[in-house]
Chains A and B, each alone.
Chain A
Amino acid sequence: MTSRGTPETNATVASLVRINKWYGAYHALRDVDLQVASGERVVICGPSGSGKSTLVRTVNLLEPFQQGRLHVCGVDVGADKITRAARLAVNRRVGMVFQQFNLFPHMSVLQNLTVGPVWGRGVSRKEADELAMHYLQRVGLIDHVHKHPAQLSGGQQQRVAIARALCTRPQLVLFDEPTASLDPEMVSEVLQTMESLAREGMTMVVVTHEMGFARRVADRVLFMDQGQIIEAAPPGDFFERPRSPRLRSFLGQVLAHRDPHVDI
C-alpha cells in the first residue's frame, strides 16, 4: 500500500490520496487529498463546475478516476483496479443522497427502503422491514410507508432518500447537493433531518450551497475551485478568516445575496 504522507489511523473512514480525474481532456480533479475521520462532518462548497459533485461521487466509485488511490471503509482501490466488485464493496458500506432524490418510482416507500438491505446485504425481510420502519420514524414519515414516491412532496421524497441511505447501515453518508432541487419551503425540513443525523455522530460528507448549515454542523469546510481543494478549515475560520483571495471573493458573493438557490 502506498499511501504516501497520509498515515491512516483506525478512525479514518475515507482517505483519498492524490486523486486525479479527467473527463476527456478536461482535468476535473487535480491532486485531491482528503481524509475523513469517523464521526466527522465535512461540508464541501465552491462554484459550479468546481468538481464538488465529482469528488463525492468518486468516494463511492460512481465516477472512476485515472490516478491516485482511494481507501474507503476498509476497501482499498487504486486507479488501475476499479472493478465492479470494489464498487459493490464500497457501496455496501457507504450511503448516498442525491440532488434528484432518485427514489425508485415503481416501488412503495417501504420497498424503496428494504430493497437494498434484502437484495444487496442479505438481510431477512422481517429485519429489513423493522429497520425501515425505524428510520421512517426517524425522518418523520411513518404515515407514508405504503405510498409511492410520486405521492410525496419534494422534501418528503428527500427524507425518504435519507432513510433509504441509512437502512443500508452505512459507515459514511455522502450528500450531493441534497436541497438544491427543492422548493424553498421544503429546504429546512431536509436540513433539520440532516442536522439530527449529524448530532448522533454519523460521518457525513455534504456538498451544499447552504452556508448556514455548514456553519452550524460542519467540523471542517472545504472550498473547491477548478478541481482543486483551495482551502479547508473549521467553519469559524472558514467564514470569518478566509485566507485565499478566491474563497474571499466567493464568500463575498454568496453571503451578499444569501439566497441559497442561486447556483454560484
Chain B
Amino acid sequence: MARERTGDGSNGMAHAGATHYVRQTPIDARAAPAPAGMSLRWRRAFFPSPAMGAVSLSLLVLFTLLGWRALQWAVLNAHWAGASSAACPGDAGACWAFVTARWKPWLVGNYPVAELWRAWTCFGAFALFWAWVVRRSHTASMQRVLLGFVGLPVAFFVLLRGGGPLPVVEPTRWGGLLLTLVVTLATFATALPLGLCLALGRRSLLPVVRWLCGVFVEGMRAVPLLAVLFIAATLVPLFLPKGMNLDLFARAVLAFALFNAAMAAEVFRGGLQSIGRGQREAATTVGLSDFAALRLIVLPQAVTAVVPALVNIMIAVIKETTLLSVIGVNDLLGAVENGARSPDWMGESNILTSGYVFLALAYLTVCYGLSRYSRRLEARR
C-alpha cells in the first residue's frame, strides 16, 4: 500500500512551489503506537541519569530508615491495651492504650450516657447523608446537597440539645468528634448563606450596602481567626445587654460563621464574576426580571463553578475547629488534651504524643477524603 502511494510521482508530499498536488489514495486511520511499558516508565521517572539515579536511591534509603523507625514506634513497640499510664512504660513505642481506653469521651465528650442514642443518631444520619452525597453528587443535584448541609446541622442541634419531651443537654457537655461535627456543619449552615448574601451585597446597586459588605469581608479577611475567637469568647459577653447570655458554644459558632462567611463571600464573588454579562443580558431579553435571572440563570452556574472551592473552605473549617480547645471548648483536640491531664494518664509525654498522632491521623483521614471528593467534582465538569 505505502509503496504504491509513494509511487504517484510526488513522494506523497505536497511540495512547495507551483506544483499541483492531488492525493491519489486516501490514508486510512492507523492505531497509535503502543505506550511505553511499566518498567521503562519507572526507569525514566527514577533513573533518567546516573546523578538523578543516585538521588532516587539515597531518598529511598532515607525513607526506608524513617519508615522502619515509624513502624517500630507505631506498631512493633506499641502498647495496645491498659487502663492507665502504667500500661505504657518508656517512650520506645506508641501508647495506643490511651486511645482505646478513652474513645468514648473523644467521640462525644461528657454527653450523658442515658442520652447517648441521640449522638449516635447524629453520627448515623451524617454518615448516611455523606454516603448519599458521594454516590449521587453530579453537578445537577448540587443545590440539594448544599440544602442538606444547611438543614442537617439545625436538626442535629435540636436533637442534641433536646427540650420538650427530651431532657435538655447543654452544649457545654458536648465534646470530642461530636462537637467538631456539629460546629463544622453549623458553621457551614450559617456561613454559606451569609457569604452568598455578602457576595451579592458587594455587587449591589446601593452604595451603602456595597460599602458595608466590602468593609465586613475585607475586615474579617484581615484578622486572624484566633483573634476573632478570643473576641467572641471574652469581649462579646461584655457588650451583650445584662440578662442576655450567649453560651461559649454559641459564641464560638458565631465567630466561625462570621469569619468563614467572609471567606465564602470571596469564593462566591469569584463564581458570580465568572458568569459573563452575556448570560444576564440573554436572561433579560427572554423577559426575566433581575431577580429571576439571578435565581435561574446566574446562581446555578456560579454556585456549581465554586463547589470545589467551597469544599476547600469546609476542609479549612474542620481543621480550624481545633482552635476551639484554646478558648476552652471541649472539641476533639481539647478532649485528647483533657484525657492526658486526667489522673490515670498523667506523666509520660509519650502518651500525649500518641494522642496527637492519633488526632492527626483522624483529621488526615477526614480531610483527605474530602479533598479526593472535591477533585472528583472538578473532574466531572
Contact = CB atoms under 8 A, between A and B. Distances in A.
Given A115-B296, A119-B296, A102 B288 contact: no
B278 A102 contact: yes
B286 A106 contact: no
Given A105-B301, A106-B300, A120-B292, A168 B278 contact: no
Given A102-B278, A105-B301, A60 B285 contact: yes
B25 interface: no
Nearest to A92: B287
A84 B289 CA distance: 8
Interface in A90-138: 91-92, 94-96, 98, 100, 102-106, 115-117, 119-121
B304 interface: yes
Contacts, number: 64
A129 to B, nearest CB: 15
Interface in B260-287: 278-279, 281-287
Nearest to A84: B290
B301 A96 contact: no
A94 to B, nearest CB: 7
A120 B287 contact: yes
A217 to B, nearest CB: 22
Interface in A45-66: 60, 62
Contact-residue bracket for chain A: 20 to 34
Contacts of A103: 282
B281 A121 contact: no
A230 interface: no
Given A98-B278, A106-B300, A62 B292 contact: no
A165 interface: yes
B284 A168 contact: no
Contact of B284 (A91, A106, A115, A121): A91
B309 interface: no
Contacts of A60: 284-285
B301 A106 contact: yes
Contact of B279 (A91, A104, A121): A104
A164 B282 CA distance: 10
B297 interface: yes
B289 A88 contact: yes
B288 A115 contact: yes
Contacts of A96: 281-282, 285
B305 to A, nearest CB: 10
A102 B285 CA distance: 11
Contacts of B292: 119-120
Among A87, A98, A116, chain B packs the most CB atoms within 10 A around the CB of: A116
A61 to B, nearest CB: 9
Contact of B288 (A62, A94, A116, A165): A116
A167 B288 CA distance: 13
Given A104-B297, A106-B301, A121 B287 contact: yes
Most chain A CB neighbours (cut-off 10 Å) among B284, B286, B300: B286
Given A105-B301, A115-B296, A120-B292, A100 B284 contact: no
A168 B286 CA distance: 6
Interface in B149-195: none
> Which among A60, A117, A120 has the greatest number of chain B C-beta atoms within 10 A?
A120
A231 to B, nearest CB: 29
Interface string B281-320: 1111111111010001100110010000000000000000
Contacts of A104: 279, 282-283, 297, 301
Contacts of B300: 106
Contacts of A120: 286-289, 292
Contact of A98 (B282, B287, B288, B301): B282
A119 B288 contact: yes
B282 A168 contact: no
A102 B296 contact: no
B297 A98 contact: no
A91 B296 CA distance: 17
Nearest to B284: A91
B281 A62 contact: yes
Nearest to A104: B297
Contacts of A165: 285-286
A100 B278 contact: yes
A91 B285 contact: yes
- Across the A-B interface, give the 9 residue pairs with the lowest CB-CB distance, nearest first: A116-B286, A120-B287, A102-B282, A96-B285, A102-B278, A92-B287, A120-B288, A119-B292, A116-B287
7 contacts: A60-B284, A88-B289, A91-B284, A98-B282, A104-B282, A104-B301, A115-B288
Interface of A: 60, 62, 84, 87-88, 91-92, 94-96, 98, 100, 102-106, 115-117, 119-121, 164-165, 167-168
